[in-house]
Amino acid sequence: MTKTYTGKCLCGRITYTATGAPIVVAQCHCEECRRLSGTGHTVGAMFSSEAVAVRGTLSEFSYSSDKGSKVTKVFCANCGSPIYGMNTRAPDHLTLSLGTLDDASELDIEVVIYERDKRHWDRLGDNVVSFATQPDWTPES
């Protein structure tokens, strides 16, 4: 039976389905992914473009990669969630942002790229305190 993944953006105006297994699941630490995500890296699942159907109004931004290819990042036009990216190095493919999948529990990161550009704060220290949910903390407390 063919697996179908579903996903949506933060506001819910973009929804999508992706059919079949991803070709690869990758974490990327390049500067563009850092700025795109606002955090240390992106995590994406690459699919054939024809395996993915997206509904809703998208917005996009393109730039040239350091390999000379054209990279296009595609967002929800309303809430700005990054939905997928495309690269002319791999035409007819797109990479869905893993965090927008409704259920990616069966998927694991298989490869990390641009490890060279990884920031030290994207690695947790031993004495970082974790809370299961938002703690009852305010700047005044």
Q: Which residues bind Zn ion (CB under 5 A)?
A: 9, 11, 13, 28, 30, 33, 76, 78-79
Decide whether 33 or 94 has the Cβ nearer to Zn ion.
33
Decide whether 76 or 94 has the Cβ nearer to Zn ion.
76
Decide whether 79 or 111 has the Cβ nearer to Zn ion.
79
Structure tokens at 76: 């929800």
Hey, what's the torsion of the CAs at 23, 28, 34, 19, to 10 degrees?
10
Residues 16 and 101 sit within 8 Å (Cβ to Cβ): no
Strands of 20-124 (E only): list them: 24-28, 42-48, 52-55, 58-64, 70-76, 82-87, 93-97, 111-113
Backbone angles phi, psi at 36, to 5 degrees: -60, -45
Q: How far is the CB of 8 from Zn ion (least distance, A)?
A: 8
Decide whether 13 or 118 has the Cβ nearer to Zn ion.
13
